[in-house]
Amino acid sequence: MLTVDVRFVANELVPGLVSGEYDIENGMTVRDLIGVCESRCDAAIPEKNFKYMYPLFNGRPTTLDSEITQNGTLHLCRVVIGG
């Protein structure tokens, strides 16, 4: 069992989710962890919001499909877009 401190920086992408510590199984993906957060907070993220998410795990860029294999901190930020 792992403990991940999740920090939602882009609150507009994750309505209803609360930053905090979440316990997950070793090897779950970042997307799976977001699902755990959704279940615990009884909220659902619109599927279209996932393409704007920029996850950082322990200060390093990662992807939604990356496996989590250690305790740490996940910051869920917004992709910077513009012209």
Q: Which of 48, 54, 52, 14 is nearest to 34 (CA)?
A: 14
Cβ-count burial of 74 within 10 angstroms (0-12 exposed, 13-18 middle, 19+ buried)?
buried
Per-residue pLDDT tens digits for 11-69? 999 999 999 999 999 999 999 999 999 999 999 999 999 999 999 999 999 999 999 99
Q: 71 φ, ψ to 5°?
A: -65, 150
Instruction: Write down all domains in the chain, each with its CATH number in brackets.
Output: 2-78 (3.10.20.30)
Q: Please, are residues 50 and 29 in contact by the beta-carbon 8 Å criterion?
A: no
Q: Please, are residues 38 and 17 in contact by the beta-carbon 8 Å criterion?
A: yes
Asked whether residue 81 carries a pLDDT value surpassing 80, the answer given is no
pTM of the model: 0.92
Q: Residue 83 — very low, low, confident or very high, per pLDDT cuts 50/70/90?
A: low
Distance in angstroms (rounded) separating the CA atoms of residues 55 and 57: 7
Both structure tokens of 20: 């905090």
